[in-house]
Structure 1
């Protein structure tokens, strides 16, 4: 921070000294000219007029330059600086355009596409499964199965201490569910519930087919003959 302040003070001081030296030299030149021509008023008027015109012209040039720079800066868009082929050498322009194209392609590829939602476990945007999270919906099927079994008999209500697998085994023993379908369902259910991986759309549809088959296999227990 102190280095920056020191450099600023040094820069301002250097500019000020240079300006004062230039003013002094110009003043000496003007004084010399005045001492040479002050006896001839016509030459003095001509020299004075030339100096005034020179000062006015310099002031107009500086003012027009500042106005043109300010208007050019106002025309520059805020989000980007346009680069035309005439602004830089051709090789530099081609290099800039190649880099800009590369950045645009990377941005386009990084933008998530609707079909990429399948990898996140959600339904495809614009489809009937758009608002469905596959894994959550698949896990919730166990509650539907338990509710349906309870409607067959209140004795099939699952206690909180009973695991999902033990509950399914109990329903199989009571001949309420088909053994093969129930085992396949509970194996897949436990993988989904305790595994970190999300489901794809194909896996979700396959699981729901198994659940529908299991749901249709619900029946009243067989009475002993």
Structure 2
């Protein structure tokens, strides 16, 4: 588990902690990190304390940045930005043909076409044995993320999918679709949290 997970777990039982304020990632993060943060927030919320997230826009298309904070009690977004979340992607760099240019003759031993670690050095594009497992993995991660977001936002999977498939959206449209709870600048969100805790001296 990451340091943030343990920090939230400790804060859960700390009477001096009233809640958590999160600056949401604008563009993206690793799927495992997003899911771990979401689980940590769900665990923290069992204490009855609040979780507020603020994003200065979800400008990247990655679903992971949104999944990471979907369990927040309230998601704020800056009203001058947009909601571009639409899915996920993966990349592979192919160096096929490069060795020949250097008159090099590397030797690779591939046991099966699905053991494709060497393909980055031998191929110039995706082969079917690479595409099939990559697509299956990405689809699985996407479907899992959508299901979790739907649960957190108390929406249907179909509704979440429709928002993603029709991205990008304005901040106002994202709120109307149920993906965002409030629109406001970062300073406004901080003031809101201060009022919620009853302590206007909190520094962020």
Q: So what's the TM-score if we normalise by structure 2?
A: 0.18
Q: Which has the higher contact order (CA 8 A, sep 6+)?
A: 2
Which structure is higher in helix share?
1
Which structure is higher in strand share?
2
Of structures 1 and 2, the larger Rg is shown by 1
Q: So what's the TM-score if we normalise by structure 1?
A: 0.17
